[in-house]
Amino acid sequence: MLTKRIIPCLDVKDGRTVKGVNFVNLRDAGDAVELGAMYAAQGADELVYLDIAATVEGRSTFIDLVRRVANTINIPFTVGGGISSIADVSALLHAGADKVSINSSAVRNPDLINELALEFGSQCIVVAIDTRYVETSEGVFEHIVHTHGGRKPTELRTISWAKEVEERGAGELLLTSMDTDGTKNGFAIELTSTISANANIPVIASGGAGNMEHFYDVFTEGKADAGLAASIFHFREIDIPDLKQYLQNKALPMRMTK
C-alpha cells in the first residue's frame, strides 16, 4: 500500500543547518549532510533542503552540499530556495537532487512551471505555496498566496493557484500555512484537505506540527500525502521512528524500516 510520507526539512546557509539543532549524538549537528543521513537512517521517507540565504555567492556552496547529500543518502531529496531558471534547476539536478522546489519565481513567472516540467519532467518539479488567511481589499477573508517567506501578499487565491500550478505541470505541491507555521498547534487541516481533494498530484502539508496527533489529523482529515516539519525533529520533540510507529498503530500505511 502506498504509504504516507514523513519529511524533515533542513534550512541551510553556507552548507550548514541554521535552525537550532539539538542532537548530542552527532559529531557536528550543524552539518547538513550528517543530519540528513541520520534522518534517513531513522526512517525519514524523503528530505527537503532549503537554501535560505540563496545568494549568488552561496549558490556554489549549496550545490556542493547537494552533491555531498546525494553521495551519502539513498532516499529521495528535494532542494529549494532561490531557484528561478532552467539553468538553476539543471545545476541542482545534475548535482544529484531528485526534485526541486520553486516558490516566488513561479508566482512571478508562472510559465516557468511549464518550461521546467517540459525540460525535466513533472516528477521532479515541486511547487511550494506559502499561504495566509487574510482580509482582501474587498474586505473579505481569503486564503492568499504570499511570497518572501510569507511576508508579502500576492493577488493569487491559494486554492485556484494550487489548481493552476498542477495544470501547468507541477508534480507535487508543498503547502505551507503561515497561519499555523511555528505555532505547534497543528497543520491547517481544512485548507490542506480542500487542496488535496482538488488535486491529482501529491500534497505535502507543512506548518504547525507540534505533536504526533497533528500528523495523524493531517493525513486523515487533511488528506495530505506527506507531512513536513523542521524544528520538532531537530529538537527531538518527536523522534521519527516513534512517530511512524504511532501512525502505523493507528492503521495508517507507513514504511517501517526497522
Partner 1 sequence: MKTVIIKYNAGNVQSVMYALDRIGVDYLYTDDEEEIRSADKVIFPGVGEASTTMSYLKEKGLDKLIPSLTQPVLGTCVGMQLMCRFSEENNTTCMGIFDVDVKRFPATPGIKVPHMGWNNITNYKSELTKDLIDNAYVYFVHSYAAPVCEYTVATCDYINPFSAMLHKDNFHAAQFHCEISGDIGQKILENFLKL
Catalytic annotation, residues: 11, 130
**Beta carbon of residue 231, minimum distance to partner 1 (angstroms, whole number):** 24
Between helix 212-220 and helix 240-249 the angle, nearest 10°, is: 50
**Beta carbon of residue 74, minimum distance to partner 1 (angstroms, whole number):** 5
Closest CA to 112 of 47, 159, 168: 168
**Beta carbon of residue 158, minimum distance to partner 1 (angstroms, whole number):** 19
**Beta carbon of residue 239, minimum distance to partner 1 (angstroms, whole number):** 18
Q: Which is nearer to partner 1, 20 or 253 (CB)?
A: 253
Q: Which stretch binds partner 1 (CB under 8 A): 16-24, 90-98, 106-114, 127-135?
A: 90-98
Question: Cα–Cα distance between 227 and 174 in angstroms, integer?
Answer: 9
Of the candidate residues 98, 164, 237, 239, the single one contacting partner 1 (CB under 8 A)? 98
Of the candidate residues 225, 228, 232, 247, the single one contacting partner 1 (CB under 8 A)? 225
- Note whether 168 binds partner 1 by CB under 8 A: no
- The answer to whether 181 touches 149, Cβ cutoff 8 Å, is no
- The answer to whether 32 touches 226, Cβ cutoff 8 Å, is no
String of contacts with partner 1 for each residue 122-161, x by CB under 8 A? xxx-------------------------------------
CA 87 to mean position of chain CA atoms = 22
In order, the DSSP letters of 150-179 are: TTEEEEEEHHHHHHHHHHHT-SEEEEEETT
Q: Which is nearer to partner 1, 94 or 152 (CB)?
A: 94
- Note whether 115 binds partner 1 by CB under 8 A: no
Question: Cα–Cα distance between 227 and 177 in angstroms, integer?
Answer: 12
Q: Which is nearer to partner 1, 200 or 249 (CB)?
A: 200
**Beta carbon of residue 191, minimum distance to partner 1 (angstroms, whole number):** 18
Residue in the block written with cell 543530519 = 35
Angle at 185 between CA 9 and CA 194, to 5 degrees: 80
What does the buried/exposed string (b/e) look like for 160-171 if buried means 16 or more CB atoms within 10 Å of the residue's CB? ebbbbbbebbbb
- The CA–CA distances, whole Å, from 254 to 206, 215, 247 equal 18, 12, 7
Q: Which is nearer to partner 1, 22 or 197 (CB)?
A: 197
Of the candidate residues 19, 157, 163, 255, the single one contacting partner 1 (CB under 8 A)? 255
Q: Which is nearer to partner 1, 211 or 220 (CB)?
A: 220
Residues that bind partner 1 (CB under 8 A): 1-3, 5, 40, 45, 70-72, 74-76, 93-96, 98, 120-124, 171-172, 199-202, 225-226, 255, 257
